[in-house]
């Protein structure tokens, strides 16, 4: 079996794929409130182009793909896209990250298409606060979507909760209790800086997830647990008697770069070896330049593989962003894919 190995000996088996930068939400830490400048439609990778790239990546050793956005369910035909992905031999796992707004409508279609599981972004369990954070989101609709995902077996369901001091940190125990009642995997995530400085007084809003863990440990007895997410960023724990788990993702306060096994494909066709690095390798240009050349499939396959391998080789050892620091790099989550 082929293996993708970077310059520091890490095996790269996981590809996160953004299929759109569009989203029906304008979350306060992701997109500016004013009109957001979207990528022109013609610059977004077509489904067939994405499938071609994933096929070559799997041939090189990728076994796991996560579909992201923006909000991936706003793009038409996503279930048919997943059906095509399911046909790729040696692709072992297909998952999707969503804000949950369309999940009740799509859960059955996604499961039938071959999707294995979902992650749902959920930053508040309070209706009005949720609406403010998402700038118009519907909490009841998202919770209904989670119920439908359970019903259809899109498991395990992971809930991604970005913590912000003075905004939703008063709900940490509410989310924790949620795991007592349901087999949900809540993942507390540190607020990440953005090029647009979307959060006023970012440093004051930042919360170390390590501190959250320490505070929860004073009130609850919980034990480490393996939920089968090899090399994932979260460390999971289960409260005694609880049905679900709590995960802590310390992207800034405690780097986990040494075990990172992923690269990203942006919606505009660039391989990004590290979320916090500006280094990218353009695949779209290669694919489209070779499109009209007759009998070019072998050549195209070879060049795509070389570009993917190039991206893996330039993957940095780690990032230098620390907790509470501002980012001086070009970092727009909605364009890169969460």
Does residue 332 fall inside a structural domain? yes
**Which position has the higher pLDDT, 288 or 321?**
288
Does residue 250 fall inside a structural domain? no
The answer to whether residues 334 and 121 touch, using CB atoms and an 8 Å cutoff, is: no
Does residue 293 fall inside a structural domain? yes
* Residue 221 DSSP one-character state: -
pLDDT in tens, 186-236: 999 988 876 655 566 677 888 999 999 999 999 999 899 887 655 567 789
Predicted local distance difference test score (pLDDT) of residue 320 = 60
Residue 327 pLDDT more than 60? Answer: no
Instruction: Compute the distance between CA of residue 160 and CA of residue 37 in angstroms, rounded to an integer.
Output: 25
Residue 314 pLDDT more than 80? Answer: yes
Mean pLDDT of 235-248: 92
Beta-ladder partners of 185? 158, 245
Using alpha carbons, list the distances in angstroms from residue 234 to 127, 185, 200.
27, 10, 27
Mean pLDDT of 267-283: 91
Lowest mean pLDDT segment, chosen from 51-65, 245-259, 271-285, 293-307 = 245-259
- Proportion of the chain above pLDDT 90, given as a percent: 69
Question: Torsion angle of alpha carbons 98, 99, 100, 106, nearest 10°?
Answer: -40
pLDDT in tens, 84-109: 999 999 999 999 999 999 999 999 99
Token duo for residue 295 = 């009998």
pLDDT in tens, 143-191: 999 999 999 999 999 999 999 999 999 999 999 999 998 999 999 998 8
**Which position has the higher pLDDT, 336 or 40?**
40
Around Cβ 300, how many Cβ atoms within 10 Å?
Answer: 17
Task: Please report the DSSP string for 11-75 in residue order.
Answer: EE-EEEEE--S--S---TTTS-SS---PPPGGGSPPHHHHHHHHHHHHHHT--EEEEESS-GGGS
Predicted local distance difference test score (pLDDT) of residue 257 = 82
**N-to-C CA span, the chain:** 29
Predicted local distance difference test score (pLDDT) of residue 118 = 98
pLDDT in tens, 76-85: 999 999 999 9
**If pLDDT is split at 50, 70 and 90, which confidence band does 264 have?**
very high
Question: What sign does the CA torsion over 184, 116, 311, 69 have?
Answer: negative
Find the radius of gyration of the CA atoms of the chain.
Answer: 19
Mean pLDDT of 262-285: 92
Predicted local distance difference test score (pLDDT) of residue 91 = 98
Residue 313 pLDDT more than 80? Answer: yes
Predicted local distance difference test score (pLDDT) of residue 72 = 97
| Nearest alpha carbon to residue 20 among 36, 34, 35 | 36
CATH classification at residue 80: 3.20.20.70
Residue 255 pLDDT more than 70? Answer: no
Residue 325 pLDDT more than 70? Answer: no
Does residue 304 fall inside a structural domain? yes
- Proportion of the chain above pLDDT 70, given as a percent: 87
Q: Which residues neighbour 10 within 8 Å (Cβ) at sequence distance 6 or greater?
A: 258, 259, 260, 261, 315
Does residue 192 fall inside a structural domain? no
187-213 burial, b at 16+ Cβ within 10 Å, e below that, comes to: bbbbbbbbeeebbeebeebbbbbeebb
Residue 324 pLDDT more than 50? Answer: no
Question: What sign does the CA torsion over 91, 119, 246, 255 have?
Answer: positive
Instruction: Compute the distance between CA of residue 308 and CA of residue 298 in angstroms, rounded to an integer.
Output: 16
Predicted local distance difference test score (pLDDT) of residue 277 = 81
Does residue 100 fall inside a structural domain? yes
The answer to whether residues 308 and 56 touch, using CB atoms and an 8 Å cutoff, is: yes
Predicted local distance difference test score (pLDDT) of residue 197 = 55
Average pLDDT of the chain to the nearest whole number: 89
Per mean pLDDT, which of 25-29, 151-155, 230-234, 289-293 is the most reliable? 151-155
Structural domain boundaries, residue 282: 4-157+257-336
Does residue 183 fall inside a structural domain? no
Residue 331 pLDDT more than 70? Answer: no
Rounded (to 5) percent helix, strand, coil in the chain: 35, 15, 45
**If pLDDT is split at 50, 70 and 90, which confidence band does 323 have?**
very low
Token duo for residue 87 = 């046909």
Does residue 241 fall inside a structural domain? no
Beta-ladder partners of 281? 271
The count of structural domains within the chain is: 1
């Amino acid at each position: 079996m082929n293996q993708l190995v970077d310059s520091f000996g890490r095996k790269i088996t996981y590809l996160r794929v953004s299929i759109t930068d569009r989203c029906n939400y304008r979350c306060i830490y992701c997109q500016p409130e004013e009109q957001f400048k979207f990528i022109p439609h013609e610059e977004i990778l077509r489904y067939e182009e994405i499938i071609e790239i994933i096929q070559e990546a799997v041939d090189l050793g990728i076994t796991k793909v996560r579909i992201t956005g923006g909000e991936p369910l706003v793009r038409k035909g996503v279930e048919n896209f997943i059906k095509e992905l399911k046909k790729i031999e040696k692709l072992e796992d297909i998952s999707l990250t969503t804000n949950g707004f369309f999940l009740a409508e799509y859960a059955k279609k996604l499961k039938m298409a071959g999707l294995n599981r979902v992650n749902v972004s959920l930053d508040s369990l309070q209706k009005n606060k949720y609406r403010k954070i998402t700038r118009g989101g519907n909490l009841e609709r998202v919770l209904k979507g989670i119920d439908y995902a359970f019903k259809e077996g899109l498991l395990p369901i992971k809930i991604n909760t970005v913590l912000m001091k003075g905004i939703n940190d008063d709900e940490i125990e509410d989310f924790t209790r949620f795991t007592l009642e349901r087999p949900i995997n809540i993942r507390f995530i540190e607020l990440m800086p953005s090029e647009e400085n979307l959060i006023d007084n970012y440093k004051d809003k930042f919360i170390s997830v390590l501190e959250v863990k320490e505070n929860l440990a004073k009130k609850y007895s919980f034990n480490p647990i393996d939920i089968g997410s090899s090399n994932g960023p979260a460390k999971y724990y289960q409260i005694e008697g609880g049905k679900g788990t709590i995960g802590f993702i310390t992207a800034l306060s405690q780097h986990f770069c040494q075990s990172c096994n992923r690269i990203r494909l942006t919606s505009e066709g660039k391989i990004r070896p590290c979320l916090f690095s500006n280094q990218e390798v353009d695949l779209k240009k290669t694919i489209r330049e070779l499109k009209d050349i007759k009998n070019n499939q072998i050549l195209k396959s070879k060049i795509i593989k070389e570009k993917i391998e190039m991206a893996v080789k330039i993957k940095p050892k780690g990032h230098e962003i620390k907790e509470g620091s501002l980012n001086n790099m070009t970092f727009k989550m909605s364009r890169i894919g969460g």
